[in-house]
Chains A and B, each alone.
Chain A
Amino acid sequence: MQQFLDLTLSGLSQGAIYAAFALALVLIWRSTRVVNFAQGAMGMFTTYLALLAVDAGWSYWAALLLALGSGLLLGAFIERVVIRPVENGPELNPVIVTLGVFIALQALASLLFGAQYRSFPAPFGLTGLQAGSVNLAITPYGLFTIGAVLVTMIALVALFRFTDLGLRLRASAFNGEVSRLLGVPVGRMLTLGWALAAVVGSLSGLLIAGGELVWPAYMDPLIVYGFVAAVLGGLDSPAGAVIGGVAIGLALSYVSGYAGSEFAGLAALLILVAVLLVRPAGLFGRATVRKV
């Protein structure tokens, strides 16, 4: 029982990070119908920027703001400069381009920051909380992770549901041509969509790095788990991404705990295959024909 509780708690805080990453994928998929394989590398890059800031004596919080801000700019830059020129070509082109950005950013990070392991600070304690005399498998940092993802998700839902900017973002995502006809600056909306997604991606990179080691490829497992979470949630639904993320976090935690951590990757792929076979639109997606 104690083990089940422990696995559940650690699964929740891992799941929150998968949820943030899945959310970043979903935001871009909704607005541009592109699966952004560069999202992990973008989060890695901005996390390294935060690490440089910490090295230079900045506080964790200032470094966090720097990473999120540079994520915003990096997302906007990549959409404008790299994605925009291939957007009107075949649908696969932007996807291939994001793979190219992924590889380029990892190589660039190795050159600029070095390929060795670096440890990344955490703003809160990393030892388990205690309930009475029982040690719980949730750390103050884990609680911070869950809280940060929840706040981000609520802010995004509020933006999309309750502001007219969100309405224009959604309209541009559904049909750019018609939106343009109605006077919506669609190009700006797409750039903003990428920028917002990159902020969330940067957050996931920072959260998973806290108290751990970073190296240019440290986000690679997160890309796989985050993608499975996004597909589980239906790719179209931000709420689905979050629920998918938490579900994957819990599932992988149980698999690692009861069967061994070497099975985690296999379990993720099995879930992916099962979802695609049984419910290809995901748990929360609408069933529509998709060409990726």
Chain B
Amino acid sequence: MTSAVHQPPAAGGPGAAPAFAVEDVTVRFGGLTALDAVSLELGAREVHGVIGPNGAGKTTLLNVCCGFQRPDSGTLSRAGRPLAALAPHQLVDLGIARTLQGVGLFRGLTALENVMVGADRHRRAGFLAALLGLPRAEADRRALAERARSALAEVGAADVADRLPAALPYPVRKRVALARALVAEPEILFLDEPAGGLGSDDIDELAGLIRRLAERATVVLVEHHMDLVMAVCDRITVLDFGRVIAVGDPAAVQDDPAVAAAYLGEESARGDEGGTA
């Protein structure tokens, strides 16, 4: 069933603990096994793709990694340190950020304010100082706004800082959402279908951005768009029916007969379609 499994992480070297690891994780929804003893090891500054046909368990795996879904069995670890009962609000402190499928921006906040919420990790003044509007809190707010502006600039959305999300075209909203994940300066960034709904120019830019991000963070890319995945990923994990059927570099995964079988007639056609969109 497996062919290219159990390669060492691309970066980090032998013996070094992976930046993030999922080991033997199983998740069941009633009678359905969404994830079946899935393991995933992420090296430092690696771009790791997670692909698979619809219903393969990609989003469930992402939810486990972000504490949205408690696994029935299995363990998570961050840089060798086991993570018991991971909860979403702890992610930021662990240096983990995630974007959502779709966009998920706060509709009543401007683009800049949206990104500032993501920069919360860098806030220093306490609760009371903010409530009383002390100078310390004001300095904090200015620093957050500065960080948020540079994150928006990095994704090429600096000019829409003061606009509300509803007034922005979909691709720009996706950029703002990405800036919101970047502004926390995560060491591990989970991207859930970042290319969804984007045209080919935007996807090319996204590919460049992901490669730049990989210079300072580990990027996990859950994506249907095969051209993007093949172009930017160092390694790829392929899921099918909740199991890992292949792990390896893009070329090895593409040639894997198990992968071809899983995608036959379905996802390979979809990938080509996406390439010309």
Chain-A contact segment, one of B3-11, B18-26, B125-133, B236-244: B125-133
Judge whether A163 and B137 touch: CB under 8 Å.
yes
Say yes or no for B78: interface residue by CB 8 A criterion: no
Distance in Å: Cβ of B62 to nearest Cβ of chain A = 11
- What per-residue 1/0 map shows which CB atoms of B83-123 lie under 8 Å from chain A? 00000110111000110100010111100011011101101
- Total of A-B residue pairs, C-beta within 8 Å: 79
Sampled A-B contacts (8; CB under 8 Å):
A163-B131, A163-B141, A164-B123, A164-B130, A165-B137, A167-B116, A178-B106, A186-B89
Q: A183's contact among B89, B114, B131, by CB below 8 Å, is which?
A: B89
Q: How far is the CA of A245 from the CA of B104 in the complex (A)?
A: 34
With known contacts A158-B133, A159-B131, A179–B117 Cβ distance under 8 A = yes
Chain B interface, >50% SS class: helix
Say yes or no for A59: interface residue by CB 8 A criterion: no
Judge whether A182 and B117 touch: CB under 8 Å.
yes
Question: Which residues in A have their C-beta under 8 angstroms from that of B123?
Answer: 164
Given contacts A166-B130, A171-B114, 19 further A-B contacts (CB under 8 A): A162-B133, A163-B141, A164-B123, A164-B140, A167-B109, A167-B117, A168-B120, A170-B106, A171-B106, A174-B108, A179-B117, A180-B88, A181-B66, A181-B100, A183-B91, A183-B184, A184-B117, A185-B89, A186-B89
Judge whether B106 and A163 touch: CB under 8 Å.
no
Q: B92's contact among A159, A163, A182, by CB below 8 Å, is which?
A: A182
Question: Which residues in B have their C-beta under 8 angstroms from that of A158?
Answer: 133
Smallest CB gap from B164: residue in A: A286
Distance in Å: Cβ of B109 to nearest Cβ of chain A = 6
Judge whether A183 and B92 touch: CB under 8 Å.
yes
Question: Which residues in A have their C-beta under 8 angstroms from that of B130?
Answer: 163-166
Distance in Å: Cβ of B14 to nearest Cβ of chain A = 33
With known contacts A164-B116, A167-B116, A183–B121 Cβ distance under 8 A = yes
Distance in Å: Cβ of B135 to nearest Cβ of chain A = 12
How many chain A residues touch the partner (CB < 8 A)? 23
Say yes or no for A175: interface residue by CB 8 A criterion: yes
Say yes or no for B180: interface residue by CB 8 A criterion: yes
Q: How far is the CA of A251 from the CA of B107 in the complex (A)?
A: 34
Judge whether B120 and A183 touch: CB under 8 Å.
yes
Question: Which residues in A have their C-beta under 8 angstroms from that of B88?
Answer: 177, 180-181
Chain A interface, >50% SS class: helix
From A162, A165, A184, name the one whose CB has the most chain B CB atoms within 10 angstroms.
A165
Judge whether A159 and B89 touch: CB under 8 Å.
no
Question: Which residues in B have their C-beta under 8 angstroms from that of A162?
Answer: 133, 141
Question: Which residues in B have their C-beta under 8 angstroms from that of A171?
Answer: 106, 109, 113-114, 117
With known contacts A178-B100, A183-B184, A164–B141 Cβ distance under 8 A = yes
With known contacts A159-B133, A167-B117, A183-B93, A175–B141 Cβ distance under 8 A = no
Question: Which residues in A have their C-beta under 8 angstroms from that of B104?
Answer: 175, 178
Say yes or no for B144: interface residue by CB 8 A criterion: yes
Question: Which residues in B have their C-beta under 8 angstroms from that of A170?
Answer: 106, 108-109, 113
Q: How far is the CA of A52 from the CA of B85 in the complex (A)?
A: 48
Judge whether A182 and B137 touch: CB under 8 Å.
no
Q: Closest 8 interchain pairs by CB?
A: A183-B92, A165-B130, A174-B106, A171-B117, A180-B88, A164-B141, A182-B118, A178-B104
Question: Which residues in A have their C-beta under 8 angstroms from that of B117?
Answer: 167-168, 171, 179, 182, 184
Question: Which residues in A have their C-beta under 8 angstroms from that of B108?
Answer: 170, 174
- What per-residue 1/0 map shows which CB atoms of B39-52 lie under 8 Å from chain A? 00000000000000
- What per-residue 1/0 map shows which CB atoms of B135-155 lie under 8 Å from chain A? 001101100100000000000
Q: B106's contact among A164, A175, A183, by CB below 8 Å, is which?
A: A175
Smallest CB gap from B99: residue in A: A181
Q: How far is the CA of A171 from the CA of B140 in the complex (A)?
A: 17
Q: How far is the CA of A184 from the CA of B180 in the complex (A)?
A: 13
Q: How far is the CA of A166 from the CA of B133 in the complex (A)?
A: 10
Q: B180's contact among A163, A168, A182, by CB below 8 Å, is which?
A: A182
Judge whether A180 and B133 touch: CB under 8 Å.
no
Question: Which residues in B have their C-beta under 8 angstroms from that of A184?
Answer: 89, 117, 120
